[in-house]
Amino acid sequence: MKQEFTISLFSENHIGILNQITIILTRRQINIESITASESAVKGVHLLTLVVKTTPDMVRKTARQMEKLVDVLKVFVHTSDEIIYQEIALYKVSTKGLMSGNLIDHIVRTYNARILEVSPEYIVIEKTGHKAEISELLTQLEPHGLLQFVRSGRVAITRQVKELNAYLRELDEAHRQKPEEIEVYNKI
């Protein structure tokens, strides 16, 4: 049974990594619902956050295959209840459509949105939240002269404390032990 997963992929920032990842997903016929790329808390390491809908078995296989890529440091797979996440949306709406009565104030307060810009022609509204909340506000604004709409990909952090930093420390410790093992081997 298909369900939504968030894949957090930590990698070095090299050209072509996104192409390699999309090839892996395409071969397994997995569509990317959203994607976000950014720096991570670790200097020199970038984070790609992908949202996909697939089976638990398929997402595990896909994550293992992604980890085999040279530039990929670690891949984590999470369900929505294991992460804290948000998306951001911008709505550009006709000023005439929203200025009737108390409508703009009501929409902004009801949906916990904020106004970014007001001009004689349009009003830009920002909303952060989950996809369902963003879609609900979109539905409310459409009859009032929606001019443009854009939604970001998911930005997510895990609820668990141990994540990439602990993994990198373990990797570093393992790397430090290997030179000593080589010295011992060379002495034999």
pLDDT (tens digit, 9 = 90+) per residue, 83-105?
999 999 999 999 887 776 678 88
Provide the domain limits for residue 63: 3-78
Domain termination residue (choose one: 53, 78, 103) = 78
β-strand 146-151 against 83-94: which pairing, if any?
antiparallel
Is 29:62 a contact under the CB 8 Å cutoff?
no
> What domain count does the chain have?
2
pLDDT at 188: 39
In a domain, 115, yes or no: yes
Residue with tokens 């997903």: 25
Rg (CA), the chain: 22
45 and 105 part of one domain: no
Q: How far apart are alpha carbons 128 and 142 in whole angstroms?
A: 18
Does the structure show a pLDDT above 70 at 171? no
72 and 14 part of one domain: yes
97 and 132 part of one domain: yes
pLDDT at 185: 37
Task: At 137, list the tokens.
Answer: 């506000």
92 and 132 part of one domain: yes
Please give the backbone phi and psi of residue 186, each rounded to the nearest 5 degrees, phi first.
-65, -30
7 and 74 part of one domain: yes
11 and 70 part of one domain: yes
pTM here? 0.78
